[in-house]
Amino acid sequence: MKKQASFPLLVVAFMLVTYEGDCVEIVGGREVQNHSRPYMAYLSTMCGGALIKPDWVLTAAHCKKLNQIEVTLGTHLRIEKEPTRQKFQVKTAVVHPYFNNNTYVNDIMLLKLNASATLNKYVSLLPLPKHGEDVEAGTNCSVAGWGATKFGLYSTILLSHSVILYMQFLLSFILNVMSLTQGDSGGPLLCNGIYRGIVSFGKGCGLPRKPGVYTLLTKEYLKWIQGLIEDY
C-alpha cells in the first residue's frame, strides 16, 4: 500500500449561531429538500460523509469509533424507514496515516464499502475538486448533516447550515478538542457548489466565537485519495 504524506492544512469557519439554553441552535440550520443532497452518507457512528465513488465514502478519521461501521445512503429521515435507502457494511476503513487523534490533524478517512451503490436520483456521487486550491476568506459555504440543534438532541432530518470562512492556517496543534455537532462530523463542506472540505471539529457545542474546523481538501489530500482508490 502506498502512503503519501499530507500537510495538516485545515480551514477554520464560523458557524452562524444564536444562544438557546445550555447549547445553541444553528442559524440557517434548515431542512433541505427531500433527497436534494443525494451524495450524503449516514454512518452508524453518528457521522456524515460523502459518496465519491460507487463503493467509496469520504469522511473524517475521528468517526472511526467502532470496528464495524454501517453506511446508509439515500436517506433524509434518519430514524424512519425509507424505500430509497441503500445500506452497506464497511469492508475497509482507511484512516490517513498521519492522523493525530489528540489534535485531529489529518482528520480524513476513506471507507471502502462491501458493494457498489446503485446510482439513481436518490443516491449519487459528489465529485472531488479538480484542484486543491485555497478557499478565499469570506467565502459563504454550507454543510449538511443530522447534527445536534440543541444540547443532546440530534436532528432526525437532514439539515443544511451556512458557514462563513474567515481564515485558514497551517494547524500544528489544537487543545481541548470537542465536537461541534457530532452528527455533522465527516460531512462535506461545499463552497459555491464545490466539495472543499470535511467537517472536523469545534469547541463549545457551536458557541459564537468558537469556530468550527474543517479539513480542507488540498492537492496533497486529493493525491492520497486518488492513489489509495487506485491501489484497491
Q: Which of 35, 62, 76, 96 is catalytic?
A: 62
Q: Which is catalytic among the residues 107, 179, 184, 200?
A: 107
- List C-alpha distances in Å: 137 to 14, 166, 199, 216: 11, 5, 17, 13
Residues 6-35 have a mean pLDDT of 50
Is 155 noted as a catalytic residue in this protein?
no
Q: How far apart are CA 66 and CA 89, in angstroms?
A: 12
pTM of the model: 0.82
| 62 part of the active site | yes
Across the chain, what does the average pLDDT equal? 78
Domains, the chain, ordered by start: 9-231 (2.40.10.10)
What tens digit of pLDDT does each residue of 122-156 get? Answer: 999 999 999 887 788 778 888 888 876 655 567 78
Candidates 6, 155, 160, 185; catalytic one: 185
Mean pLDDT score, 209-223: 81
Alpha helices (H) along 152-210: none
Phi, psi of 231 (to 5 degrees): -65, -30
Residues 90-112, mean pLDDT to the nearest whole number:
94
Lowest mean pLDDT among 39-48, 108-117, 161-170, 182-191: 161-170
